[in-house]
Amino acid sequence: MPDQQLVVAMLGEARFRPYLVAAGNDGVRALDLYLWVTEVSGALHAQTSFVEIAVRNALDPVIGEWNEGQGDKYRRNWTAEDGAAPLLYSMLHGSLNRARGWARKEAFSRPAGHPRRNVTPTHDDVLTQLTFGVWSSLIYGQREDHARQQQLWEEATHRAFPHVARTEESRRLIGQQLNNIRALRNRVAHHDNLLDVQLAKRLGWTLSLLAKINPEYPRLATARSPIRRLIREDPRRSW
C-alpha cells in the first residue's frame, strides 16, 4: 500500500483530508476508502447515463409529435432553426441555440476524410448536445417556467412516462427525481467527495425513474452494474 505522503502528493491534502477524517486519521484505511469511492463514482456515472439517455429518447418523440401539431410551419424536428413552436421555444431557445452551435463546431472539427466533416447537423446531432438539465427543465424546476412546464406536461411530456398517472403529483415527483439525479451526475463529473452519498437511495431514484418509462429498463440498467456489490463493500462497514 503506498505511504500516506505519496498519496497526499498525488491527490492533494485538501482532497484527501475528508477521507482521513472519516478513517480516524488512519492513512491505510483512508486510501482504501478513497479507492472505493472512485469505484462508486464510475458506477454512478454509468447508472446516471442510463437515465439521461432513456429520458432523452422518451421525451424526444413525444415532443416532436406535439411540435408537429402546433401549426403548419412546425415539424417533428423541433431542434431545427426556428423549428420549435412558441411554447417550447420560450423554454429552450437559449439551450437550442447553444446546442446547434456545438453541433456545428463538432462537424467542423471532424478530421479530413471523415464522411460527416462539415455536414449540416441533423436533429440527432443537436439532440445529443442538449444537457441533462434541459430535459429536467421541461418537466419541473424554475419557478418562472412552472405554467409552461405544466402545460407541456398536460399536452405532451406525460406520454414519455406512460407508467405513472397523468397528474401534477407525478410531474413534481419525476421532476424532483430528475433534478436529484442530475445533481448527483454533476457531483460525479466534477470528482466531488461522495462520502455522504446514500447509494441505496440514489440507486432507488434511478430505477424508479427508469421504470416510469418502461418497467424493463431497471433490469437492463443493473445487469452489469456493480453498485449493489459496492454498497456491501463499503470499507466503513467493517471498521
Q: Please give the full DSSP string across 23-44, using - where no structure is assigned.
A: TTT-HHHHHHHHHHHHHHHHHH
- Structure pTM? 0.92
Q: Which domain holds residue 219?
A: 4-238
Q: Please give the full DSSP string across 149-198, using - where no structure is assigned.
A: HHHHHHHTGGGG-TTS-SSHHHHHHHHHHHHHHHHHHHHHHTT---TT--
Domain count, the chain: 1
Q: What is the pLDDT of residues 194-220, one digit of tens each?
A: 999 999 999 999 999 999 999 999 999
Whether residue 117 is predicted with pLDDT greater than 90 in this model: the reply is: yes
Q: What is the pLDDT of residues 57-96, one digit of tens each?
A: 999 999 999 999 999 999 999 999 999 999 999 999 999 9
What is the separation, in whole angstroms, between the first and last Cα of the chain?
18
What are the DSSP E strand ranges found in 28-152? none
Distances (CA, A) of 192 to 12, 107, 186: 13, 32, 9
Backbone angles phi, psi at 3, to 5 degrees: -75, 160
